[in-house]
Amino acid sequence: MDTIKSFSPSGMVKEGLKNTLGIMADKGVEIFSKVQDGKISIAEGQQELEQFKLQMQADAEQAALEMDKAYLADTSDARAANNAIQRSKNASFFAKNLPLMLDSIVVVAFLIMLYAIMFKVVPHENKEIFYTAFGVLGALVNQVFNYHRGTSQKADEHFDKLNKSMKK
């Protein structure tokens, strides 16, 4: 079960933070020991610690960039697959329209729940479940809109320019 938790986004953040803090603490102890043993001066220790801090920041930025690249590649792959299905002469009506039907169902269910919240009384025993489901549907509606109205070609070009400038 702990393995599963470590692969969730929050688990990954916790593990990363724990590892980062552990590495920083280990490096701090190592530098302190060098200063205490007289191998380096305090100023040299501070400089070494500052260099380590800058390296850690650079590594974190590189990791974030890699995650962004993976996200953009995944989004691009999903859109390319959908476009291939839509252009295919062999794809069935169901294969071409199922995603749109599911998206429509999510939006309509969200609007129905919004209507219920505004104009109907939700039984007290069901309020928590109702509001939780409403929140989940709200998040799904957000994903639907991001997919259909999300990044455009100009935004993709902007990301490419940004990535190229960061590599320099």
Look at 28 and 108; give whichever has higher pLDDT: 108
Handedness of CA 116, 117, 122, 128 (dihedral sign): positive
| Residue among 48, 57, 7, 4 at smallest CA distance from 30 | 48
- Per-domain residue ranges of the chain: 1-91, 92-168
Q: Of all helices (H) and strands (E), which one includes residue 13?
A: helix 9-36
Q: What is the pLDDT of residues 35-71, one digit of tens each?
A: 888 888 888 888 888 888 888 888 888 888 888 887 7
Percent of the chain clearing pLDDT 90 (strictly above): 20
Q: CA angle at residue 86 from 81 to 92, to 5 degrees?
A: 110
Q: CA angle at residue 86 from 83 to 87, to 5 degrees?
A: 85
- The answer to whether the beta carbons of residues 49 and 32 sit under 8 Å apart is no
Q: CA angle at residue 15 from 46 to 51, to 5 degrees?
A: 20
| Whole-Å CA distances, 95 to 55, 78, 86, 102, 144 | 49, 15, 8, 12, 18
Q: What is the pLDDT of residues 69-78, one digit of tens each?
A: 877 777 677 7
pTM: 0.47
Alpha-carbon distance of 104 to 81, in angstroms, equals 20
Structural tokens at position 117: 């919240």
Q: What is the pLDDT of residues 152-164, one digit of tens each?
A: 555 666 666 666 6
